[in-house]
Structure 1
């Protein structure tokens, strides 16, 4: 019991030089408070909203509503009918880097997709010709497929393959690749959930190595002049800024993009433009996000129907 608080305190000192911020961060994780629920409208927003809505931030898109604390959007019939998707506002923050992309996005590849929120956000922004949602953990596929079907996210394809296999078969095909990377999940504590061993150096190291492998494979899928979005729901610099530093060193043709609407949230832990919120900010449990552009020139590889068919677990098509 003694070790975890010590590791948390050590992390707070790495993240903040201000002792007041250190204390607020530790308190937010050790004495969690509820966060406002949030919904992403998958269809046109209703004229009369069924919930009370908080004042929006100056950067959140119109299809997002942050609700009052007492709201229970998951219990509404509108949820079952697929009008909206429930998510943490931290996820909105992370996915909002996509709003910076102004070029056409025809193919979105969501590499670590379950339960589907980041891919649905991208689908809502870009209305792509195809959303590919991959989830390597088989037991998470049911939740992903259910959400995509309920929210009528189409045309979309669900896959269940390792990133190395996808890199080999889908090289240079996608205008946007999203890597919502598996991580130690430290922000779960801010929501009152468990994340056993999330501050232990061995677990952080293991996650960071896995993240680097996934992001390295993902770079191969990004089309020339396409984008790669990297995000986590954890705080450790090894899983966040240091992964981004590793990425641009190993793949120098990927350039980190400034996200103007998040300038007030820019990380002070690196010179690379990447962005964070912390639980004491009270917008959400915490998130890290960064956007990279593949500056290479060249042609985009086509997605052949037979290849997609071979990898497809479920396909959703417009009726």
Structure 2
């Protein structure tokens, strides 16, 4: 039995009235487990056909599924291939409700560990740019790993305070997701340890932080752009009150209706400044839907954007390009960077490392960033060595690959860093580099010598 703070239950009783007991009873229900399909790599329909798990569609998430607590999707090779992200079902909703289109300039301001950023990146389909930021460097590293796992090639991953981000990107973004740090009341059932850090004073402190973050986000949003604000808490001071602050402080911001789904509840004007516009906000309650708690509001900035952006321009020296061309030829790679050829204009070599830059240029200025684009690999003496992120981004291209069934025990051995043996029928070439794949889906690089695939799966990625 979860022991909820008295101040919390008293406030919830005032908020919910005759629904309060249903809300409390929901804490006795088993938690829901969800996975979200990576549409950069596979359609939800195809995944459902291939999946070895017991799946049930999440009605309000086009690419989301409930899975059974008896399943262990984090242990399956499909997870290492980046085919899905494990995420609480209601937490999938904010990214699904931000109207991102391929080619957009998108910011996820508080992005770690990447559950929402990976969905935004997938929906961009390699076009435009995703700036994914987290103030914590350690959390930003986890964010980068998840974006790499998903095969996102057009991300700029930063670890900056929002004030610095705002000075670097004034009115630059067309879509912004602000999944604000919050008191986490909606996660009490999923993770009871969150209760230990909760207090009424803490919700008020967070409300002030959220308002500051919202102001920074508004300053980075271009005219005509959309801002999706979300939390995983029930506290009105962190939800309707923050939206009221945005509407009152920035009259150019207007609330927009969110998609209606059975179980979604409107915001409550009495919990904000009384404006009936607050009913356009959405609350997800655990006693009304299969999931934990969430709050969302979608706002649009008045006007039309006059922001002009230019195509990115990389720089590769002749010697590095020659080594990369030799490698690309050896693995039969003919296209890279959303073109029918190698997008050399987007490739840049810095300090012996090669990157495919996002197709859209960034404003000038300094930023503490972890990654700009896709890390392709290293320029070594007389050779190019490909990276793990490069492998995971190569689905769909015609590349030398060694494909095994996902159930083949050699895949597990490969993921532990072991050398594996292939049969003649499994070797499309007699020697050289190629991708080891679980069926059609790349896991990482290997180098074939006499039917022995030497393991090139990085130590930091290996399974124990």
TM score, norm. by length of structure 1: 0.89
Unaligned runs of 5+ in 2: 270-275, 310-359, 377-389, 391-464
| 1:307 alignment counterpart | 364
| 2:303 alignment counterpart | 296
| 2:8 alignment counterpart | 8
Pairs aligned (count): 310
| 1:157 alignment counterpart | 156
Comparing 283-292 with 66-75, which one deviates more in the overlay? 66-75
2:133 is the counterpart of 1:129: no
Say whether the 8 Å CA contact 1:257–1:292 is kept in structure 2.
yes
Shift of 1:288: 0.8
| 1:316 alignment counterpart | 373
After superposition, where does 1:1-319 map in structure 2 within 5 Å?
5-18=5-18, 21-29=19-27, 31=28, 33-42=30-39, 43-45=41-43, 46=47, 47-57=49-59, 59-61=60-62, 63-98=63-98, 101=99, 106-127=104-125, 128-197=127-196, 199-262=198-261, 264-270=263-269, 271=276, 272=278, 273-300=280-307, 302=309, 304-305=361-362, 307=364, 310-317=367-374
Q: Aligned pair in 2 of structure 1 residues 16, 306: CA closer, same or farther (>3 Å)?
A: closer
Q: Which has the higher strand share?
A: 2
Say whether the 8 Å CA contact 1:131–1:154 is kept in structure 2.
no
Shift of 1:38: 2.3
SS at match of 1:280: coil
For the pair shown, which has the larger CA radius of gyration, 1 or 2?
Answer: 2
**Cα RMSD after superposing both structures:** 2.3
TM score, norm. by length of structure 2: 0.62
Say whether the 8 Å CA contact 2:183–2:202 is kept in structure 1.
yes
Higher relative contact order (CA 8 A, sep 6+): 1
Shift of 1:260: 3.0
Q: Aligned pair in 2 of structure 1 residues 134, 70: CA closer, same or farther (>3 Å)?
A: same
Q: Which has the higher helix share?
A: 1
Deviation per CA, 1:80-129: give whole Å up to 9, x if none: 1111111110112232322xx37765111100000111112222234341
Shift of 1:216: 0.4
Say whether the 8 Å CA contact 2:102–2:123 is kept in structure 1.
no
